[in-house]
Structure 1
Amino acid sequence: MRMLKLTFLMFFSALNGAEVLEVLQRNCVQCHGKDGKVKGKTNLLEITDLDHLKGDLELLQQIIDAIDFEEMPPEDEPPLEVGERKQLLADLEALRLEAVSKKKLFSPTPIRRMNRFQYHNAVQDLLGLTCTVYSLPERMIRDHKGYFKPASGKMDNLIRVGSRPLGKSQLIEPRLAGVAAFPQDLRAEHGFDTQADHLSMSPLLMESFLKLGQSITGSQDFGPRRVGIWKEFFVLDPREKREVKVVVRERLWKFLRRAFRGRIKSEVVDRYVGFVEK
């Protein structure tokens, strides 16, 4: 069945290859290649055939993500028609699957959960928090002057940081009241706590994660002052005329795509919408 699906997709992509290139040329090269204008260091004008596109999986995935997340075309450009956008995504996915199938397979990677440091960063990023979720001794070095700016390509000659264990004041930081981290994971080989075979999920730990999530959303600080996505995710505009279920589904769709870092199946969104309705 899998081989049949792959064969179909390869045939499907061959049929629609010309259309893929035509859509990219019509909607994307104005900002990505035409007249020497290359935004995001992505020159789509260089793509002359599908082999070029299939040979650069990273670029292909970037194009898929930009279209799927509706980042492209930009707001000041005419949007793709809904049907055309869906067709383009299907064609690009077929190209990606064909290209991946020809790559050397890697050994299976064990699925693991996050450690508490990674969990903290994920929650802070997803909710756009302006404070820490909980204090952690693992966060040894604290930036005082905003020296870490990778996009600038520069590093100051002199930087100022603080070490938490060496100064009590380093532990005084804005954080969500009433939220405590789950116990630190045991160190594995060479002191790392990111070993997949150690980061298992027992029923007891699953319960701890659920309680932690409840304590975060139940914190007295969990509100518009600390949560960056509060207005766009939690607040319902009184002028909104659509059904609440429709609005919830739309917001969850965008949120889950960020959480899972990729495309989300409709049935997955439906499952989360079901939790909200309960």
Structure 2
Amino acid sequence: MESNPTDLSALVISDKEFKMISELVLDKVGIHLADNKRTLLVGRFRKYLLENKLTFTEFHQKILADKTGNMQNDLTNMITTNHTFFNREATHFAFFLKTVLPEIDLDMKQNKKSDIRIWCAASSTGEEAIMIKLKMMEHFGVRYNSLNAGMLATDISTKVLNQARSGIYLQDNFKDLDPKIIDKHFKKVSPEKYKVNDNIIADIHYTIFNLVTGHYNFKQKFQVIFCRNVMIYFDSPTKEKVINSLYNVLEPGGYLFIGHAESLSRIKHSYLDIQPAVYRKPQ
């Protein structure tokens, strides 16, 4: 039995439809949906199918025929989870500040360079990219403005990228951030919302990128890549593909940060294990 697009309460997904949609999600988004994710899938699609009067089968047919990319954006925005907050997994930012940035600074001084190349590869709504920028400003101080320190921040979802570009965040997102940092770098724009100061996001370049199907054709390699809390949605072959693609665009000695709920222990890679969820490309 196929889904009924006119009855929200009766929306179900058949075995055939679930197989079609889960294969589509894996191909287009890179997320593996196990059979126990049926209820989640129906919940994510419910409003969209009703508003557009589509069954799951009709949605599948339309997205394959769509040449604009709009329906793939709709699929991505429906299927991805984007819960995050400032200073999430704070030990990473402490290590970045105390260990990684001094190493980059020393290398720049020794080799008379001024480039800092950092990629926030699953930037979601921008909290992580802003934290990286704040730590760079904390380390370099007034010297920061003389550096070529723009940051690439990417995500597969246009919805979260638009929110990141707005720089506006709910008060709940700041629960783990020092109030002094909030007062210095954010402005309250409503009783429950803050906007990050323009100088913080001015050189964060937000753009769409699919870690699974994207082409890693960057002009220069990165010193640091943050790719946290996204690979938990990948199956092992996809995770291995992404991890090794990231390896290829890291410069020797470059660091990779992944989520604390993630691990590289069961996939083939050449990284050095530095500390929990921190890896390094051999020099």
When the two structures are superposed, what TM-score results if normalisation uses the length of structure 2?
Answer: 0.24
Who wins on radius of gyration, i.e. which is larger? 1
When the two structures are superposed, what TM-score results if normalisation uses the length of structure 1?
Answer: 0.25
